[in-house]
Amino acid sequence: MTKNFQQKFLKKVKRAIYDYGMIENGDRIAVGFSGGKDSVTLLHALHLLRRSLPVKFELEAVFIKTGWPMDIPVLEDFCQSLNISFHVVETEIAKIVFEDREDDNPCAICSHLRRGALHSKALELDCSKIALGHHLDDVMETFFMSMIYTGQMRVFSPVTFLDRTGLTMIRPLVYHHVEEIVSYVESEKLPFIQNTCPANGFTNREVVKKFLADMVKRFPDFKARFLTSLKTFDQRHLWPDAMSKCSG
Ligand SMILES: Nc1ncnc2c1ncn2[C@@H]1O[C@H](COP(=O)(O)OP(=O)(O)OP(=O)(O)O)[C@@H](O)[C@H]1O
């Protein structure tokens, strides 16, 4: 049962990797490793896929320390058990976000600073790719947050090339529902740490999470249909550019 689930899970990761050409022979990949369920799953899955994918690639785990208390030795031991180097980047992100700036949108600044630190470390480690643990629920949340809070229809892509750094971001878990990730963590008995940020659970994202949970209750195929609609999206079914740009 566990083996079957693992095979099924990895097959879906492989499909995302193939569909979007995420990994090439000789890649050195920095895995954004926050120690949460998503990135622990990502690191474990990529580690296992090194045996079955026809391409050879190397993994480096990078943990950006934001300043909240975290059980780092648990993460270090996990990486050691997989024989993957574990890198800790010290930052003052928590202090900048909550003490110095006291901004209305701490999550956006925190995310921006974490991303910057991750990119710099990846370049220092001579990696050309960064793998992130975003899954389908993250895709949907981001899509609706963008629409609801900024009036834009946009979402991150499974693969993004960044001109300024030459780095490519890959998201091999984009086909997975969060429930599949939770089951994977349980069945593989993976260690993970809790997010100790004080804003966790009180963000705009939580509002959208609740909205999506309600939609899934009413329409059980909602996530699968959303994914299909993203993959088969046809620009012609949206409105053409209006002559004037003011909203209705
Ligand atoms: N502190 C960090 N250090 C390294 N990578 C990070 C860090 N925070 C986030 N990431 C990367 O960015 C991805 C998305 O970040 P997000 O803040 O949405 O995390 P999350 O959904 O809570 O995921 P996780 O369960 O992995 O913590 C993570 O899966 C991870 O790959």
**What structural domains does the chain harbor?**
2-233 (3.40.50.620)
pLDDT value, residue 82 = 98
Q: Is 93 in the pocket of ligand 1 (CB under 6 A)?
A: no
pLDDT value, residue 247 = 64
pLDDT value, residue 23 = 98
Q: Is 67 annotated as a binding residue?
A: no
pLDDT value, residue 97 = 82
pTM as predicted: 0.94
Q: Is 134 in the pocket of ligand 1 (CB under 6 A)?
A: yes
pLDDT value, residue 168 = 98
pLDDT value, residue 109 = 87
Annotate 160-191 with b (16+ C-beta within 10 A) or e (fewer).
eeeeeeebbbbbbbbbbbbebbeebbeebeee
For residue 88, what are the CA distances in angstroms to 13, 76, 131, 141, 183? 26, 9, 16, 28, 27
With a cut of 70, which residues of the chain have pLDDT below it? 1, 101-104, 201-202, 245-248
Rounded to whole angstroms, the Cα distance separating 184 from 37 reads 9
59: β partners: 29
pLDDT value, residue 106 = 80
pLDDT value, residue 201 = 64
DSSP code, position 65: E
Residue corresponding to tokens 């990502």: 42
The SS3 call for residue 31 is strand
pLDDT value, residue 197 = 75
Let me know: does 133 contact 61? Beta carbons within 8 Å.
no
Rounded to whole angstroms, the Cα distance separating 209 from 212 reads 5
Helix axes 222-231, 136-145, angle to 10 degrees: 80
pLDDT value, residue 204 = 81
For residue 24, what are the CA distances in angstroms to 44, 53, 56, 76, 236? 19, 10, 8, 27, 33
pLDDT value, residue 171 = 98
Q: Is 64 in the pocket of ligand 1 (CB under 6 A)?
A: yes
Measuring from atom 12 of ligand 1, which residue has the nearest CA?
132
DSSP code, position 241: P
Q: If you measure from the C-alpha of residue 39 to the centroid of ligand 1, how many angstroms do you get, rounded to a whole number?
A: 6
pLDDT value, residue 41 = 98
Let me know: does 128 contact 26? Beta carbons within 8 Å.
no
pLDDT value, residue 100 = 72
pLDDT value, residue 202 = 66
pLDDT value, residue 76 = 97
Q: If you measure from the C-alpha of residue 4 to the centroid of ligand 1, how many angstroms do you get, rounded to a whole number?
A: 27
Q: Which atom, in ligand 1's list, is nearest to the CA of 192? A: 25
Q: Is 36 in the pocket of ligand 1 (CB under 6 A)?
A: yes
pLDDT value, residue 1 = 54
Cα dihedral 13, 18, 21, 27, rounded to 10, equals 60
pLDDT value, residue 13 = 98
**Tokens, residue 219:** 């329409």
Q: If you measure from the C-alpha of residue 64 to the centroid of ligand 1, how many angstroms do you get, rounded to a whole number?
A: 9
Helix axes 178-187, 37-52, angle to 10 degrees: 70
Q: Is 181 in the pocket of ligand 1 (CB under 6 A)?
A: no
